[in-house]
Every structure is written in structure tokens, then in C-alpha cells.
Amino acid sequence: MKKTAVDVSHVSMRFNLASQKVDNLKEYFIKLIRRELKYKEFWALQDVSLRIDQGDRVGILGLNGAGKSTLLKIIAGVLKPTEGSVTVKGRIAPLLELGAGFEKEYTGAENIYLYGAVLGYPREFIAEKYNEIIEFSELGKFIDVPLKNYSSGMKSRLGFSIATIVEPDVLILDEVLAVGDAKFKKKCEAKIQSMFDKGVTVLFVSHSLAQVQKICNKAILLEKGKVIAQGGIEEVSAIYEEKTK
Ligand SMILES: Nc1ncnc2c1ncn2[C@@H]1O[C@H](COP(=O)(O)OP(=O)(O)OP(=O)(O)O)[C@@H](O)[C@H]1O
């Protein structure tokens, strides 16, 4: 029997959406003090349960707002679910919103430690891998420059280099991942391919069914925060295609 890599058990996620317009900060605080701020509850995920086997490559499909990114952020540990729990076996490399934990006043070098800590890597581990990260990022002397002076491509290069320094057991990938120019993108794709070759478990979000079919052997279809189909890629693709007709 295959081993479970990711176990999502009865996960629900609630966001509070402001139900009225507040024009400025002053008005916000007045309303806050008077307890006049009203929120509407919104459930982005409702009772989602999944079991992903080791070595599976699972595409997460669904229309805009279905809850795909929210689910991946919860699995990555970036968001805490309102209800339910997630267990991930082994090391996880979340290639989502690269550099979301960066501090712009700090240099690239300082951010390596900071972002490494955000991703849960021990300090000694980062120290050991420090040169390798800088080398992969190709940032050269820019590594000692504050991040506020980086282009967005440079930031995502650094983010990718840090996030992929572990040999992950579970890889979380977002199609919209921007990793710099064409040359660097190729290098990233090669690195991701080498992880695939080692049999990493993959969770992949994309709107492109063709891309999902190329990479994944299984899929999950989300609709309004609920899993409406899961199973083999062909079977779930057919349902998704029917929905998007
Ligand atoms: N931080 C937040 N606060 C409030 N609502 C949120 C927040 N993050 C997501 N949502 C809402 O949760 C729902 C699901 O969002 P999510 O980004 O997970 O969808 P998605 O399936 O990834 O969509 P897309 O295909 O457009 O990227 C959306 O309605 C969104 O507005």
C-alpha cells in the first residue's frame, strides 16, 4: 500500500469580509470603537478532506475564487484553517508567492536567514547552504543591497533559490510563479524537473488543463470551497471541461 504524504482532514476556512465601505482610517477607528464595524462571514473552504499518496502529482482545478490558493496556503502552513487539520509527511517546499516573507529594508543576505526562518529551516542549515543559495540566485554583489532596490524578478530569484534549497518530499507549485527572465526560468524548470525525477509528491495549481495533464497523474476539482471531484487526471479533467464549457 502507498504511504500518505499529505492528509487534509475536514478543513474549513472562514474569512471576514467587511460588509460596508469605510473611507478612511479615522472612520475605521470610530466605527471600531463604536462597535459599528460589520463583517460578513465567508467560507472559502468547507469541510475539505483529501489524502495524497507519496509520489502522486496532483493538479488542483477550479474556477476563479474556488479556493485553490487558500487550500495550498493551508497545506503549506502559511494559513491556519478555521477548522480541521493538515498533516504533511516530510519536508515541504512551497513555491507560492515567492518572497512573501521578505523584509525590504534588509539586504538579500539578511533576507536569506529571515525567509529561511519563515519557511521553517534551522539557522545552521541555512548557514550551511548560504553560498549555494547565492550562487543559484546569480545575484552577485546585489546580495548585499537592501531588497527595496531589487526588481521583482530579482526578488523572486532569491525566493526560489531559498525555497528550493531543501530536497523536498512535497512540492507545492503555482502556475503563475514568476521567476525572472527566460534564462533563469529555464534553470528553475530544470531544478523542478530534477525533483520530479526523484519522485517528489507534487501539488500543482493551474488554470491550464493542458499543463495539469502534462504534469499530474491525479486531480482535485474545487467548486465554491468544496471538493466536487477527485481521482485520476482523465476522469477529473472530463468533469472540469464539462464545467467550463
Ligand atoms: N485574505 C482573504 N480575505 C478575505 N477573503 C479571501 C482572502 N483570501 C481569499 N479570499 C477569498 O476566498 C475565496 C477563494 O480564494 P482563492 O484565492 O483561494 O481562490 P482560487 O481558487 O485560488 O482563485 P483564482 O483562480 O482566482 O486564483 C475567494 O472568494 C477570495 O475572495
100 Cα to the center of ligand 1, angstroms:
16
Decide whether any atom of ligand 1 lies within 6 Å of the 137 Cβ. no
At residue 19, the pLDDT reads 62
Q: Is the pLDDT of residue 176 over 70?
A: no
Of the pLDDT bands very low, low, confident and very high (cuts 50, 70, 90), residue 177 is low
Name the pTM for this structure.
0.81
142 Cα to the center of ligand 1, angstroms:
34
Decide whether any atom of ligand 1 lies within 6 Å of the 68 Cβ. yes
Instruction: Write the residue with the smallest CA distance to atom 24 of ligand 1.
Output: 64
Q: Who has greater pLDDT, 210 or 175?
A: 210
Decide whether any atom of ligand 1 lies within 6 Å of the 67 Cβ. yes
The span from the CA of 98 to the CA of 128, in Å, is: 21
DSSP state of 163: H
Average pLDDT over residues 88-98: 83
**Phi first, then psi: what are they for 109, rounded to 5°?**
-60, -45
Q: Who has greater pLDDT, 46 or 186?
A: 46
pLDDT tens for residues 102-154?
889 999 999 999 888 877 788 999 999 999 999 999 999 999 999 999 988 88
24 Cα to the center of ligand 1, angstroms:
24
The span from the CA of 18 to the CA of 35, in Å, is: 13
Q: Is the pLDDT of residue 178 over 70?
A: no
Decide whether any atom of ligand 1 lies within 6 Å of the 230 Cβ. no
Mean pLDDT, all residues of the chain: 88
At residue 8, the pLDDT reads 97
β-strand pairing of 201-205 with 57-61? parallel
Fold that domain 4-91+168-243 belongs to in CATH: Rossmann fold (3.40.50)
At residue 118, the pLDDT reads 78
70 Cα to the center of ligand 1, angstroms:
6
Decide whether any atom of ligand 1 lies within 6 Å of the 69 Cβ. yes
69 Cα to the center of ligand 1, angstroms:
7
Average pLDDT over residues 168-175: 87
At residue 219, the pLDDT reads 96
Average pLDDT over residues 222-237: 96
Percentages helix, strand, coil for the chain (3-state, rounded to 5) are 40, 30, 30
One-letter identity of residue 10: H
Average pLDDT over residues 165-183: 80
Average pLDDT over residues 67-88: 92
pLDDT tens for residues 6-55?
999 999 999 987 666 677 788 788 877 877 777 778 899 999 999 999 99
The number of the ligand 1 atom at minimal distance from the alpha carbon of 17 is 4
The span from the CA of 220 to the CA of 63, in Å, is: 12
What ipTM was reported for this prediction? 0.95
> Domain boundaries in the chain?
4-91+168-243, 101-166
The span from the CA of 160 to the CA of 32, in Å, is: 40
Of the pLDDT bands very low, low, confident and very high (cuts 50, 70, 90), residue 211 is confident
At residue 33, the pLDDT reads 80
The number of the ligand 1 atom at minimal distance from the alpha carbon of 16 is 4
Helix axes 123-137, 108-118, angle to 10 degrees: 130
